[in-house]
Amino acid sequence: AQKITQTQPGMFVQEKEAVTLDCTYDTSDPSYGLFWYKQPSSGEMIFLIYQGSYDQQNATEGRYSLNFQKARKSANLVISASQLGDSAMYFCAMREGRGLTGGGNKLTFGTGTQLKVEL
């Protein structure tokens, strides 16, 4: 089974609108972390936001927020007030386990969602 599923290959949103990018995950480990990264056409991976499995509150970072629904195993990214510069590929990723030693912190990535912000 896919560990990280992103069902939206592409999304379009108008400038200044909010957009939600979906991500569901599959793990039996009680300790895990969920990440969202942005990859513009230049290729670098830009960290956006992190949610730990034990975090009580949904993570927020500026215009980014993570809608964490543990029972549904979903970790959707919400981008508010979209900007043209938000156009990029967005990847959801998961780390299983506490990641304290060695190979811990291995990330499994979803297939990504290509976001296009339009005027």
Partner 1 sequence: GAVVSQHPSRVICKSGTSVKIECRSLDFQATTMFWYRQFPKQSLMLMATSNEGSKATYEQGVEKDKFLINHASLTLSTLTVTSAHPEDSSFYICSARGAKYEQFFGPGTRLTVL
Which residues lie near partner 1 (CB under 8 A)?
A: 33, 35, 37, 42-47, 50, 52, 91, 95, 99, 102-103, 105-112
CA distance 46 to 23: 17
Contact 4, 93 (CB under 8 A): yes
For partner 1, which is the closer residue by CB, 11 or 107?
Answer: 107
For partner 1, which is the closer residue by CB, 25 or 91?
Answer: 91
* Residue 105 CB, nearest approach to partner 1 (Å): 5
* Residue 1 CB, nearest approach to partner 1 (Å): 16
CA distance 81 to 35: 21
Spell out the residues 6+ positions from residue 17 whose beta carbon is closer than 8 angstroms to its own.
Answer: 81, 82
Residue type, 82: S
For partner 1, which is the closer residue by CB, 15 or 26?
Answer: 26
For partner 1, which is the closer residue by CB, 45 or 78?
Answer: 45
Contact 84, 15 (CB under 8 A): yes
